[in-house]
């Protein structure tokens, strides 16, 4: 408390982390392949699509050397679908819409053959399975399966905002997207704040708020508040918790006695 710096990381820092997300671009100019710390960038040849880190894509976009193809979820239809799920659907009244499925995770709406995760290989030839945040959630894959439910990736606020800022001419109906993103944020924020009611259970062990599907920026924004609430509830409930533990310890100490009593009862039955 005496520490003057704000807790957690600032929005600009979260946005910085989001800039390593891969996005799809259509280059307008040739560019040799680049050897970057985050991995090699494929050579750009104009009509062919390529996947680049967001920061590089934004740079090329600003220099008018490329067009960004918006991620599959950053279109008016999937966004309004998610918004409808978030605000109308009975199951998601207190929960957030699910995050994009992991590779190998069976889709909820298509209980077909279980998809298998495709392993990837490190430069040393070791096998690994990519996990968030190293999954390409923001590329414009041609997803043909119709049962695919749109989902918000971990960095949805950051990527959405940055693309709206820098590449709004590449998006379909940017004004509506902006409005939908804002609505989504508000719906989800109010859900998170409503979670305060069940936080005392989280403070004394047991219950809690499910934060599945919550994005990085939302977590960053609510972190200070939620941790403060849990911490104070824990402090207020400390004496009760202490009493409960003592009671438990007492019960455990008496456990031996109870055990023998049960045995006696069993014995009486015979």
Nearer to another protein, 41 or 202 (CB): 202
Nearer to another protein, 173 or 197 (CB): 197
Least CB distance from residue 252 to another protein, whole Å? 21
Cβ neighbours for 113, distance < 8 A, ≥ 6 positions apart: none
Q: Which two tokens stand for residue 176?
A: 């509506």
Nearer to another protein, 36 or 238 (CB): 238
Given 117, 131, 194, 249, the residue binding another protein (CB under 8 A): 194
Tokens 């699509």, located at residue: 49
Distances (CA, A) of 228 to 96, 138, 225, 232: 22, 33, 5, 6
Least CB distance from residue 194 to another protein, whole Å? 7
Nearer to another protein, 82 or 217 (CB): 217
**Is residue 2 close enough to count as binding another protein by CB under 8 A?**
yes
**Is residue 184 close enough to count as binding another protein by CB under 8 A?**
no
CA atoms within 13 A on the CB side of 2: 0
Nearer to another protein, 1 or 142 (CB): 1
Please tell me the distance from the alpha carbon of residue 76 to that of residue 179, in angstroms, as a whole number: 10
Given 17, 20, 149, 199, the residue binding another protein (CB under 8 A): 199
**Is residue 10 close enough to count as binding another protein by CB under 8 A?**
yes
Q: Which two tokens stand for residue 250?
A: 């007492």
Given 129, 240, 250, 261, the residue binding another protein (CB under 8 A): 240
By CB under 8 A, the residues from 210 to 239 that bind another protein are: 217, 220-225, 228-229, 232-233, 235-239
Nearer to another protein, 141 or 251 (CB): 251
Distances (CA, A) of 246 to 144, 203, 243, 250: 59, 18, 5, 6
**Is residue 102 close enough to count as binding another protein by CB under 8 A?**
no
Please tell me the distance from the alpha carbon of residue 26 to that of residue 246, in angstroms, as a whole number: 66
Please tell me the distance from the alpha carbon of residue 130 to that of residue 144, in angstroms, as a whole number: 22
Whether omega for the bond prior to residue 133 falls within 30 degrees of 0, making it cis, is yes
Only one of the segments 4-12, 32-40, 72-80, 143-151 lies at the binding site for another protein (rule: CB under 8 A); that segment is 4-12
Total H helices, total E strands in the chain? 9, 7
Residues that bind another protein (CB under 8 A): 1-2, 6-8, 10-12, 15, 161, 165, 189, 193-194, 196-197, 199-200, 217, 220-225, 228-229, 232-233, 235-240, 243
């Amino acid at each position: 408390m005496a520490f003057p710096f704000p807790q957690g990381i600032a929005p600009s820092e979260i946005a910085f982390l989001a800039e390593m997300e891969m996005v799809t671009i259509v280059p307008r100019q040739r560019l040799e392949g680049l050897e970057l710390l985050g991995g090699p960038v494929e050579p750009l040849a104009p009509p062919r699509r390529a996947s680049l880190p967001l920061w590089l894509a934004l740079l090329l976009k600003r220099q008018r050397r490329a067009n960004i193809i918006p991620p599959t979820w950053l279109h008016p239809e999937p966004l309004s679908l998610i918004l409808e799920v978030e605000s109308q659907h009975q199951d998601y009244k207190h929960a957030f819409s699910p995050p994009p499925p992991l590779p190998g995770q069976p889709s909820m709406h298509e209980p077909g053959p279980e998809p298998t995760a495709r392993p990837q290989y490190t430069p040393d030839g070791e096998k690994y399975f990519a996990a968030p945040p190293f999954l390409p959630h923001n590329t414009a894959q041609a997803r043909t399966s119709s049962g695919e439910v749109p989902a918000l990736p971990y960095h949805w606020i950051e990527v959405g905002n940055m693309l709206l800022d820098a590449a709004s001419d590449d998006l379909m109906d940017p004004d509506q997207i902006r409005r939908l993103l804002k609505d989504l944020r508000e719906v989800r924020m109010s859900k998170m704040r409503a979670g305060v009611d069940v936080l005392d259970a989280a403070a004394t062990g047991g219950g809690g708020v499910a934060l599945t599907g919550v994005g990085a920026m939302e977590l960053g924004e609510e972190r200070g508040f939620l941790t403060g609430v849990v911490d104070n509830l824990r402090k207020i409930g400390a004496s009760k918790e202490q009493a409960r533990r003592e009671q438990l310890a007492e019960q455990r100490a008496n456990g031996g006695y109870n055990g023998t009593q049960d045995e006696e009862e069993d014995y009486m039955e015979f």
